[in-house]
Amino acid sequence: MPSPVYNRLAPAIQVVAGLGCRRGCCLEDLSTLLLDSLQAQGLTLDNLVALASIAHKRDELGLLALAEHLGLQLIYFSPEELLLYQNLVEACALTLSVTGSPAVAEPCALALAERLGGQPASLLGGKTRNASATCALALIAAKELS
């Protein structure tokens, strides 16, 4: 009897996570925040397709470890690339002074979801946070079939 063939389809809902963090944020803090954020939206890691952060965090070991642990791509955006999305989120003077961007998690999530979906994206719920990191989830809009 031939073995069954499984059709691995992508989950109907695909999201990206935008992440901001303090220097030295550990993998455990980031992972817990991400899982809690997904769970709050009724999602799992199967719905997650990529991670995003600001270029200022390119050498942040916790972010790199999270991407490696999950086997996901981590995309970085410059403050200039995030300008288009800043009017959609609450600004923080401290974040601006440290990263050059008034917000990180939400605009990074929106920018990556739009890039991957080819059309405007939307945030799922509000930004979540713990003592050392922030997380925002953005829905990748389904591409229209022609």
Query: DSSP readout, 47-84?
Result: GEEEEEEEGGGTT-HHHHHHHHHHT--EEEE-HHHHHH
Per-residue pLDDT at 91: 56
Give residue-wise pLDDT tens across range 79-122: 889 888 877 666 555 554 555 554 688 999 999 999 999 998 99
Mean pLDDT on 58-86: 92
Tell me: pLDDT of 5 over 70: no
Core vs surface per residue 24-58: b (16+ CB within 10 A) or e: ebeeebbbebbeebbeeeebeeebbbbbbbbbbbe
Domain ranges of the chain: 15-139
> Could you tell me which CATH number the domain at 15-139 has?
3.30.420.180
Per-residue pLDDT at 12: 80
Mean pLDDT on 18-24: 93
Q: What is the pTM of this model?
A: 0.84
How many CB atoms sit inside 10 A of residue 92's CB?
Answer: 16
Mean pLDDT on 53-62: 92
Tell me: pLDDT of 48 over 60: yes
Distance CA 56, CA 76 (A): 8
pLDDT band at 7 (very low <50, low <70, confident <90, very high): very low
